[in-house]
Amino acid sequence: MGRLLALSLLGVALALLGERFLALRNRLKASREVESIDLPNCHLIKGIEAGSEDIDILPNGLAFFSVGLKFPGLHSFAPNKPGGILMMDLKEEKPRALELRISRGFDLASFNPHGISTFIDNDDTVYLFVVNHPEFKNTVEIFKFEEEENFLLHLKTIRHELLPSVNDIIAVGPAHFYATNDHYFSDPFLKYLETYLSLHWANVVYYSPNEVKVVAEGFDSANGINISPDKKYVYVADILAHEIHVLEKQPNMNLTQLKVLKLDTLVDNLSIDPSSGDIWVGCHPNGQKLFVYDPNNPPSSEVLHIQNILSKKPTVTTVYANNGSVLQGSSVASVYDGKLLIGTLYHRALFCEL
């Protein structure tokens, strides 16, 4: 009788594991392939060889790149090289990506930048917020950008128990931000278990010097985050659920869900066109290829342009798609004055004239 019970329990456990495995493949879009959609005026950006996970562009055309991300389970083309922040002036006729110097005292050897966001204060001071994973831990670094010297002055390192697995960030003040946690846990094994079981425990946190709180939760894996030009709405990409959540910002900084846009791809970082409010998204058509890297069958890339997201029927256009022959693992797409920048998780970056 005892053996029969043990066999029954084993059968149930195996069936559950099998069901979860198939569900994970579906969340990763493991069977999806893309047909290439090319743009006519594109070239790879010199100096970016090992990822440009996030990009943020100032109103004056200065673009910041977060480069060199290393993450457990992800491929890296430069595993022993620290990450950095590059800058490109999009108003130049032939813009080049230059690495910004960072002030003394900041640990450059363990710099592992992820999501980034800029904030311009009332006195025109530019702050750069950077999600950092030194030794695979989780911090948010705040820098002051000194344009004349192409220099980042490190101001503050933020750690908090409500920021256990930070992915992306949107600054809303000189020391204030919303951040996504793509997992509830910080331990790598528990993260894998959380993903495998699809627990939907990921969340969004609001941080200020006076208050830190969870303001939205229930995500499969909260990833990219951004805010509308009028500052009324916050957009959150749920990468494994293939969704963009539209959240209304309340006076107390809490977020109330307004709607969800369902897509057919893994949505990563979100960029906002400040003139139109359109959303540009770097996407992964097949997430399994990201984590099981095969140089003969590399991860593909996809860029979506979303118009009128607040309407009943937003317009979703695939602007660019590639099977990995040019660009592998697109994670962000940002526009400025007819120019498009496409960054990747661990590969190259593309500059296009639209």
pLDDT in tens, 94-129: 999 999 999 999 999 999 999 999 999 999 999 999
43 tagged catalytic: no
Q: What is the pLDDT of residue 10?
A: 52
Place 267 in a pLDDT band, splitting at 50, 70 and 90. Answer: very high
Token readout for 160 is 């908090």
Q: What is the pLDDT of residues 160-193, one digit of tens each?
A: 999 999 999 999 999 999 999 999 999 999 999 9
350-353 and 42-44: which strand pairing? antiparallel
Q: What is the pLDDT of residue 215?
A: 98
Q: What angle do CA 66, 70, 72 make, to 5 degrees?
A: 140
Which amino acid type is present at position 322? N
The answer to whether residue 4 scores a pLDDT higher than 60 is: no
Summary count for the chain: helices (H), strands (E): 3, 25
Which amino acid type is present at position 61? G
Token readout for 77 is 């083309």
Instruction: Please state, rounded to an integer, the average pLDDT across all residues of the chain.
Output: 94
Token readout for 334 is 């940002």
Q: What is the pLDDT of residue 168?
A: 98
Single out the catalytic residue among 75, 114, 133, 183. 114
- Of the candidates 172, 307, 170, the one whose C-alpha atom is nearest the C-alpha of residue 226 is 170
DSSP 278: -
Token readout for 32 is 């999806």
| pLDDT above 70 coverage of the chain, percent | 95
Sheet holding 101-102, edge to edge: 101-102, 151-158, 139-146, 126-132, 113-120
Q: What angle do CA 105, 107, 112 make, to 5 degrees?
A: 145
Place 33 in a pLDDT band, splitting at 50, 70 and 90. Answer: very high
Token readout for 95 is 């813009």
